[in-house]
Amino acid sequence: MKKYKYIILGCLLFLVTACNEDRLIETPQDFLTPEISYINPEDFEAALVSNYAIMRALNQGSNNTLMHSGTDLCMAARSPETGGLGDYRTGQIPSAGYVLDFWKRYYKMIANSNVILNRIVDVEYPSQADKDLHVAEARWFRAFAYRSLAFLYGGVPIVLDEISTPSRDFTRATLAETLDQAIQDFEYAASILPGVAEVAAPGRLNNAAANHYLAELYIATGELDKAITAASTVINDPNINLMTARFGRRASDDGDPYWDLFQRFNQNRGSSGNTEGILVLQEEFNIPGNTEINIEKVDNNFRYERYYGCLYWFLNGPDGQKIFFAASTQNGGRPVGFIRPTPYYTHAIWGWDSNAGTFAADVRNHNRNIQRDWVCDNPSSAYFGQNISDFPQTWFDNLSAQDTLRDFYPNVTKISTYNDHPDEILANTETGAMANFSGQTFTDWYQIRVAETYLLRAEAYLAQGNATNAANDINMIRNRAQATPVTPGEVDIDYILDERMRELNYEENRRITLSRLKLVYDRTVIGNPFAGLTIEPHNNLMPIPFSEIELNTLGDLEQNPGYTN
């Protein structure tokens, strides 16, 4: 059947080329085509919105679970032996849905950018600066897509022009060529985009967002001096600083500067005073294009709370009564426990001393940032008012494996809006009980914070053999966390990766970070009790999607080693 389809397609192409080309050119007026969709600056502004939407979709808590799960950071809370890449042998294969999904999303971003770059040439703008800005944004997104594809899949086909006819002849570029393309686009974007304090609106691209990723890419290509220069350009920007003092709308509450970073309305610049955020995804409740105020439509698909939080409100005590009266805003909303942190994250990286029953000092591990302790709030329970935690206690040993895997584990609080969910999504504003359909994360989300830029520069210094400067950069983060400073002799790549987990955990795309360093295998083996049993070295890269190989009959999309189509 497939053979006949290609014969028909070939006949149609022959007829098209054999006829008078001018007579066949049509400009439809009753549906959107590039010819009538890109005729003024407003059209290109609207087209860029699509790329911003894709970037948000890549970080929505539900779509990107497999960018965290199956690594040293996270694992499946349900059926961890098989779910969430608990078994790499059956999960990360060329026909896996997520393998194709991420490939398609990034290439959609590239396609959108190429159409903009192709069509913008002949369009008049009020000024050349306005046109250059749209070009720079389009090239930033194309660079971001190629950077992500390269780290996840290796070398991929490089497409720089608008594709207007069916194509089946794509060939993979080398990894070096793919990274170089991303660098070229980011370098252009960095030269044109405005400063972080000069963007037209919160969440818009800026030159620091380009330089941040340039630092990462230069590390990958071994251009360490350039990496340090790019990172330093971001760090030395007078409008960008780590937040080391209390700030924002809940600064008078019990907390710390790290906790303040993740409270509602604190992510963007302006009234909050936040100078740490470099690129912030706009996910706040009731903003144009996002969650609507109509209670029947409250669903922004931004679901870290739902997917990553534990199902605490299902937990029964030894007397058979629920520990909690309901899912409530006081306890972190209404999560359902799909993905949970690994024991490596919850204990190993925080310096857990099993004999003393204590952790090393670090405010990022304080109960307000990683909730380990709850108070039973169900009046019907014999344990009402008593503290429960993930540490061994008289009745904790009676919990089932499912209880401790899905229902009750340390909750990273940045995924939710503790005591601050919008009233519109509460079933009862007096008790704080959540409505049954809730579970979204109602706050903006960091794509880039300067804390990560410091850790990238530390990585570049370490690669140069300058452990002293690497330790200095890491200690900028650790000092804010009131943690013991690291010494130069303690710094290696594993220490930096641990520090990234402590600081960035669910914010960073963990799989991209580890894949960039070719350490998905090494780190998962040491940090994940389930996926570590089945992962193999070739899983450092994801496979090329089988359906793309199958359709590409005239080109060569060679599969990554270790995978069978």
Read off the pLDDT of residues 98-127 as tens digits, 9 standing for 90 and up: 999 999 999 999 999 999 999 999 999 999
pTM higher than the cut 0.95: no
Q: Say yes or no to pLDDT of 27 above 70.
A: no
**d(C-alpha 211, C-alpha 208), whole Å:** 5
**d(C-alpha 120, C-alpha 162), whole Å:** 12
In 341-466, which residue ranges form alpha helices assigned H by DSSP? Answer: 343-346, 401-402, 450-464
Domain 42-258+545-551: top CATH class: mainly alpha
Where does CATH 1.25.40.390 sit in the chain?
42-258+545-551
- Per-residue confidence band for 69, with pLDDT thresholds at 50, 70 and 90: very high
- pLDDT for res 290: 56
Q: How many CB atoms lie under 10 A from the CB of residue 11?
A: 10
- Per-residue confidence band for 320, with pLDDT thresholds at 50, 70 and 90: confident
Mean of the per-residue pLDDT values of the chain: 90
> For residues 109 and 145, is the Cβ–Cβ distance under 8 A?
yes
- Per-residue confidence band for 19, with pLDDT thresholds at 50, 70 and 90: very low
- pLDDT for res 467: 98
Residue 251 buriedness (CB in 10 A; 0-12 / 13-18 / 19+): middle
- Per-residue confidence band for 354, with pLDDT thresholds at 50, 70 and 90: confident
Q: How far is CA 66 from CA 60, 144, 319, 343, 431, in A?
A: 12, 19, 37, 18, 35
Please state, for a pLDDT cut of 70, what percent of the chain lies above it.
Answer: 89
- Per-residue confidence band for 34, with pLDDT thresholds at 50, 70 and 90: low
Please state, for a pLDDT cut of 90, what percent of the chain lies above it.
Answer: 77
- Per-residue confidence band for 162, with pLDDT thresholds at 50, 70 and 90: very high
pLDDT tens for each residue of 271-313 = 789 999 999 999 888 766 555 544 444 445 789 999 999 999 9
The closest alpha carbon to 342, from 85, 151, 536, belongs to: 85
Q: Say yes or no to pLDDT of 136 above 90.
A: yes
**d(C-alpha 485, C-alpha 483), whole Å:** 6
Please state which of the ranges 48-62, 299-313, 355-369 shows the lowest mean pLDDT: 299-313
- pLDDT for res 483: 98
pLDDT mean over 83-112 = 97
User: 250 or 33: which carries more pLDDT confidence?
Assistant: 250
Q: What phi and psi, each to the nearest 5 degrees, are found at residue 420?
A: -150, 20
Please state which of the ranges 4-8, 147-151, 161-165 shows the lowest mean pLDDT: 4-8
User: 10 or 238: which carries more pLDDT confidence?
Assistant: 238
Q: How many CB atoms lie under 10 A from the CB of residue 299?
A: 14
- Per-residue confidence band for 401, with pLDDT thresholds at 50, 70 and 90: low
Q: Say yes or no to pLDDT of 41 above 90.
A: yes
Q: What phi and psi, each to the nearest 5 degrees, are found at residue 33?
A: -135, 165
- pLDDT for res 16: 34
